[in-house]
Amino acid sequence: MSMISPLAVIEDGATIGENVQIAPYCFVSKEAVIGEGTTIAQGACIYGKTTIGKYNQIFSHAVLGSIPQDLKYNGEEVELIIGDHNRIREFTLFNPGTKGGGGKTIVGSHNLFMGYVHLGHDVTIGNHCILANAATLAGHVEMGDYAVIGGMTPIHQFVRIGTYAMIGGASAVAQDIPPYCLAEGNRAVIRGLNLTGLRRHIERDDIDTLKSAYRDLFESGQPFKESATALLERSSSHFVRTLCDFILNTKRGIPFERKTTHDL
């Protein structure tokens, strides 16, 4: 049985699942769908066509589904889709998609969004990601699974963040960050592999294979795409092939500073 405060505003037409809890002073739009077991804390607002899966925790004053912050938006039907078991902390802001980006912002499952995180229009987030306080994603950003973004870090529109990538706090990201890599700085550059994250989820032999691939890609002095093509031809590792495919398909480039003789 759901527990909905009489002080919450639930528009006629909203779909509320079993065992949902909605605290006082919340707002839920008529087009919203709230999945089983989800909790919505005091003052949170669910606008527009927003679908929220099962067992999410939505904290006080989160705003989900308000219209895109895009001057081209002209009232089209757009959507925000959120998976299961996410923790969405205080004062977060998730915008739906836009017509030009396919109309949908999509969030996976088992993610943690800390306070003041912003997801812009047409963003896609995988599963098991962590976005620390005040991380801000512009429109059309894509994040793979198990990616981590440090606090106070803005991500430029159309940037891709690969699976298991980690971005240090107070960085500024304007180019694509490949899978398994660690980046930091303003502007952020690749510093190495995200070994701490990899050791939690990936076998030692696979990490050693990635270390070898990283040296070939980033320390050989050869062009990235040339090295990635050569690695694809000789490697059977799923992890290496994922890394190389990402590099070969980047549109914004990879932020990496090659060492010069003066650095040695």
Cβ-contact 60, 21 below 8 angstroms:
no
* pLDDT tens readout for residues 7-28: 999 999 999 999 999 999 999 9
Domain boundary among 125, 140, 155: 140
Catalytic hit among 53, 97, 120, 121: 121
Q: Which domain holds residue 23?
A: 3-140
Element (H, E) at 244: helix 238-248
Which alpha helices (DSSP H) does 124-173 contain, by range?
none
For residues 102 and 207, membership in a common domain is answered with: no
Q: Is residue 160 part of a domain?
A: no
| Domain co-membership, 120 together with 216 | no
Sequence-distant (≥ 6) Cβ neighbours of residue 230 within 8 angstroms: 216
pLDDT, tens digit, 9 for 90 and up, residues 198-235: 999 999 999 999 999 999 999 998 998 999 999 999 99
Q: Which residues on neighbouring strands pair with residue 45, listed in sequence order?
A: 27, 63
Report how far residue 28's alpha carbon sits from residue 60's, in angstroms, rounded to the nearest whole number: 14
CB 175 within 8 A of CB 252: yes
Question: In terms of domains, do 9 and 126 share one?
Answer: yes
pLDDT tens figures, 40-96: 999 999 999 999 999 999 999 999 999 999 999 999 999 999 999 999 999 999 999
Does 161 map to a domain? no
Q: Is 121 an annotated catalytic residue?
A: yes
The CATH number that applies at residue 66 is 2.160.10.10
262 catalytically annotated: no
Report d(CA 132, CA 112) in Å as an integer: 8
Query: Do 133 and 233 reside in the same domain of the chain?
Result: no
Q: How many distinct structural domains can be found in the chain?
A: 2
Residue 127 and residue 10 in one domain? yes
Q: Are 157 and 137 in contact (CB under 8 A)?
A: no
**Residue 239 domain-assigned (yes or no):** yes
The residue assigned the tokens 């306080």 is: 133
Same domain, residue pair 136 and 227: no
**Does residue 12 carry a catalytic annotation?**
no
Residues 116 and 10 in one domain: yes
Candidates 83, 108, 139, 197; catalytic one: 139
